[in-house]
Structure 1
């Protein structure tokens, strides 16, 4: 009888283990976002950012590099345009997302319409450097995720890192003591998108709150 019980237990565990493992790997932002969306390696930084946005009563949010796949890309690119656009809608704030790719902008605009976020979220077509240079409002939250990074091409890595540094420099005089900065794709070969800009920011009285796949920074 004991052997039968042990065998049955092993069988049940064998059936349940894959489901348990899948549940552990599922990183949702529930209840803010529906549970079905898995944000994986970005969940920890998205969650903390949303907390800070609430605490600091953010009103103007700026994203470079838009979410071309909307919430279909939560596992891969994070779906940040919809996440922060939804937060903006619920908190009487405004999200500006800019991308140089026409296809990406069209995809993001479609997702914004599908989620009924058009009153809180504007997706701009253009170079992020030009956009930030001409942006004339104070920025409460800056999300850097534009120039596509490469895991193998060192030249592209350097160009991406330099681009993100230039984005921050152009936005710097629009940031303030309560501003929040989040940088995507940092835990990649060569230092990721944030390597150069984070080094610069740490010399400018910014501090890292979370250093993971994304890096989250605030003023000291």
Structure 2
């Protein structure tokens, strides 16, 4: 009887730990196991494989990671994740954001993680930045203009903004370019609603359609 009690007690203690472990969405061994990327894990992992396969050298991110690696479960910490990949593979990353606080936090995280030589964080409107960027882009990550789950006006403005971003940099993309759009699995179609529609009409295809949408050329 005591043995059964001990077994049940052990299961009661272990079950929450097992559930927590199964819900942990890591990018190990690329990132330390402790970091949980939750709903972005699948798309991030696929992008990292594509970056390797296509030997990317130029990365642009709109909307920077203001919390650094403290934000892996919230905003994804993409600046650090893809900045780390860039450092390992001789690439360069450009991250742009209009918020002074976000840029300040991101720059501090970039320096803390030893990425200042490969990641540049710009304090600027992304549309202005993209309009004057004249280099080839291998990976484009769109994550600017905060979205709202309830305010339809903000939803539309965010969607239009992301479409405008893509149009400004479209000519710098090539056959092997990779495009990832954040915050798509949200009410109203998310950030990618308009830009994905536009891309699908122009010889792009969806590889993954989840919380984030990942696209490549057909």
TM-score by length of 2: 0.99
Offset of residue 7 of structure 1: 2.8
Pick the aligned partner of 1:16 from 14, 30, 49.
14
Offset of residue 4 of structure 1: 3.7
Query: Matched residues in 2 for 1:8 and 1:202: separation?
Result: 58
Structure 1 outlier segments of 4+, above 6 Å: none
Deviation string, structure 1 residues 22-53 (Cα, Å, up to 9, x no partner): 10111111110111111010000000000000
Aligned to 2:79: 81
Aligned to 1:185: 183
Pick the aligned partner of 2:51 from 44, 50, 53.
53
SS in 2 for 1:116: coil
Q: For 1:134-145, what aligned pairs fall within 5 Å after superposition?
A: 134-145=132-143
Pick the aligned partner of 1:42 from 40, 43, 53.
40
Offset of residue 9 of structure 1: 1.9
Query: Matched residues in 2 for 1:45 and 1:10: separation?
Result: 38
Instruction: Say whether 1:217 aligns with 2:199.
Output: no
TM-score by length of 1: 0.98
Q: For 1:1-220, what aligned pairs fall within 5 Å after superposition?
A: 3-220=1-218
Offset of residue 12 of structure 1: 1.0
Deviation string, structure 1 residues 95-126 (Cα, Å, up to 9, x no partner): 00000011110100000000010011000110
Query: Matched residues in 2 for 1:87 and 1:106: separation?
Result: 22
What is the RMSD of the two structures over their aligned residues, measured on CA atoms? 0.7
Q: Could you list the runs of 5+ residues in structure 2 that have no partner in the other structure?
A: none
Query: Matched residues in 2 for 1:158 and 1:95: separation?
Result: 28
SS in 1 for 2:122: strand
Offset of residue 139 of structure 1: 0.3
Q: Could you list the runs of 5+ residues in structure 1 that have no partner in the other structure?
A: none
Offset of residue 10 of structure 1: 1.7
